[in-house]
Structure 1
Amino acid sequence: MSIVITGATGQLGRHVIEALLQRNVPAAEIVAAGRSIEKLADFAARGVQVKPMDYTDATSVAQALKGASKVLLVSGNEVGARVDQHRTVIEASKAEGVELLAYTSVANADTTAMKLAADHQATEAILKDSGVPFAILRNSWYLENYTDQLQGTLAQGALAGSAGEGKVSAATRADYAEAAAAVLVADNQAGKVYELGGDHAFTLSELAQEISAAANRPVVYQDLPASDYAGLLAGFGVPELFADILADSDLGIARGDLLVSGSDLRTLIGRPTTPMPAAVRSALAAV
């Protein structure tokens, strides 16, 4: 019996494995599955099972899930292509007879109009029709979406976006990973849908103010029309399709699509979520 983490070479997947180990799940009962298994050598050295798995290769998916009792399906990153990839994992999970498949979706997936949510909505529908026992982890934004860009933000003296004064319930990857681990080790999770987000939502203006205060340098929030923001992102090398999706997601923030009420994340991890100011200061210390 094992817990399989798909997409384990990604940042969220790695955090989930660490969280499972911290919960004293035996390393031999954890399977780290991903395309570039050489990136998982550190986990293998600690006794974690490592298996090659490519979402586009049904045979590799079936082999990675062999003997699985629970599976975390970390959503793929190929927007527009990932629904079929997710279906492959769901079908393999059904064939294996897993006890639970947990899926990382997006906040408010049942109501949001964000373009980014379309693949998640389709995957949730497949899950519900599959007959596989499932839990849905609807994650809001990562704080790292902003803190990983701090060098550029400071260099520009501005944080650009199209979110207006909308608030986002962002939390760290580690917070979301701990929640996923908590669901994977708990009993009676089938049918659960969790709306996950940070305890304290913030606007991008508030984020800019916090960056400015923490860095002791002027940083302002520059609110742009979505088309202009997409163009700015494309100018920085973001692929045009993804730049459009990111700008559209900011419009979602303006509407409140990534605002999470309730305390599901805090409850699952058993502590307050990481505050935005703490994440900013931690990231600045590493710059």
Structure 2
Amino acid sequence: MSIVVTGATGALGRLVIGALLERTRPDDIVAVARDRAKAAELAARGVEVRIADYSRPETLEGVFAAGDRVLFISGNEAGRRLAQHRAVIDAGREAHIALLAYTSVLGGPTATFSIAEEHLATEQALLASGVPYCLLRNGWYHENYTGALPLTLKTGTVVGSAGEGRVATAARRDYAEAAAVILTGEGRPAAGDAGTGHAGAGHAVTGHENSVYELSGDTAWSMAEYAAEVSRQTGRKISYQDLPKDRYVALLVEAGVPALGAEMVADADAGIARGELDATPGDLSRLLGRPTTPIADAIADALKDLPAGG
């Protein structure tokens, strides 16, 4: 039996591997990636690397083994993910894995923005498969916003289409640590009390089987509040410019974002405006055993990483 992380060379996957290495031995961990060269750093840390591609179901044969606990990090190819995800679920079922934890989206079936569609269809496929599951319904990352700080400082503006809506973000590292807690069986919920969802009965391997967690930051904030915090920390005048959805899409495309991606980002902002990403149920902080990372701390860390004078 191994702890297996798919998408292991991505930003989230690498952090999950790091969190697992703090909790268990390297030879207990398997990293699944498409490119062995990109996984060389993980192999150097003693982690077994297996090569597979969600888009090529034949490469998933033999990637999982009976009793494995698998973190299934969702794919990033919008419009193609459902077929890819079904291939992973099928491989897990055929291998008789002990747990498939899937990174879904905050709110599950209550999320109506387009990014959520393939996540919800994947949830349904996973529940129908009979594979022991854990739904990690991740909210937005701080890094979705702090990653744009160089442009924000250059223009003096935070741009979006979220209106006065609030978003309960957390650090990517927070979500990664929570996944490691699930995979190693830490933070076991009381029977019938797995997060805001439910736990199934039976002989549990981790205590998180057939559970649902709504994962988000402890505090929700608005774009105007985010701009004000950047202003406070930099001493510069930073404002939030709220744009109609079509203008925001056009701006993103002009900045180099593919048209479909731009539509999905703007549609997610519309979801924020409707209050679909502001939930703070506390599941994430309970799994972590500590408060989630505040957005102010993430801004401070991102500013430290900018070049001098940036």
- Assess same fold via TM > 0.5: yes
Which residue of the partner structure matches residue 291 of structure 2?
272
**Does structure 1 residue 203 correspond to structure 2 residue 222?**
yes
Rounded to whole Å, the distance in 1 between the matches of 2:71 and 2:77 is 18
How many angstroms does 1:225 deviate by? Answer: 0.5
Pick from 253, 257, 269 the counterpart of residue 276 of structure 2: 257
Paired residue for 1:2? 2
Show CA shifts across 1:185-217 (max 9, x none): 112211110000001110011001111111111
**Is the CA contact (8 Å cut-off) linking 1:154 and 1:219 kept in structure 2?**
yes
TM-score using structure 2 length:
0.91
**SS at structure 1 position matched to 2:90:** helix
CA–CA separation in structure 2 for the residues paired with 1:39 and 1:148:
22
Rounded to whole Å, the distance in 2 between the matches of 1:109 and 1:142 is: 17
| Alpha-carbon distance in structure 2 between the residues aligned to 1:36 and 1:199 | 36
1:235 matched to 2:260: no
Aligned to 1:224: 243
The Cα of 1:5 is off from its aligned counterpart by 0.4
1:19 aligns with 2:38: no
1:137-164 CA-to-partner distances (Å, cap 9, x unmatched) read 0000010001111001111110000111
Equivalence for 1:161: 160
Could you tell me which runs of 5 or more consecutive residues in structure 2 were left unpaired when the two chains were aligned.
Answer: 186-205
- 1:68 Cα deviation after fit: 5.5
Deviation at 1:86, TM superposition (A): 0.6
| 3-state DSSP of counterpart to 1:64 | coil
C-alpha offsets along residues 212-237 of structure 1, whole Å, 9 cap, x if unaligned? 11111111000010111011100100
Are positions 1:215 and 2:237 aligned together? no
Aligned residue for 2:131? 132
In the TM superposition, residue 48 of structure 1 has moved relative to its aligned partner by: 0.3
Q: What percent identity do the matched residue pairs reach?
A: 49
Q: Does the 8 Å contact 1:9/1:37 carry over to 2?
A: no
The SS at the match of 1:76 is coil
Q: What is residue 33 of structure 1 aligned with on the other side?
A: 32
Describe the shift of the 1:68–1:52 C-alpha distance in structure 2 as closer, same or farther (beyond 3 A).
farther
Match status 1:98 vs 2:97? yes
The structural deviation recorded for 1:63 is 2.6
5+ residue gaps, structure 1? none
Contact 2:65 / 2:96 at 8 angstroms: preserved in 1?
A: no
For 2:61 and 2:183, the matched residues in 1 are separated by 20
* Distance in 1 of aligned mates of 2:228 and 2:100: 40
Matched residue SS, 1:261: coil
Secondary structure, aligned partner of 1:160: strand
Find 1:194's aligned residue among 213, 217, 238: 213
Report if the CA contact (8 A) 2:220-2:280 is conserved: no
Which has the larger share of helix? 1
CA distance in 2, matches of 1:274, 1:36: 31
Cα deviation, residue 98, structure 1 = 0.6
Q: Secondary structure, in 3 states, of the residue corresponding to 1:72?
A: strand
Determine if contact 1:106/1:140 at 8 Å carries over to the other structure.
Answer: yes
3-state SS, counterpart of residue 39 of structure 1: coil
Q: C-alpha displacement at 1:56, in angstroms?
A: 1.0
Q: Is the 8 A contact 1:157 1:219 kept in 2?
A: yes
Amino acid at match of 1:46: R
Select between 171-180 and 60-69 the one with higher mean Cα deviation.
Answer: 60-69
Secondary structure of 2:39's match?
helix
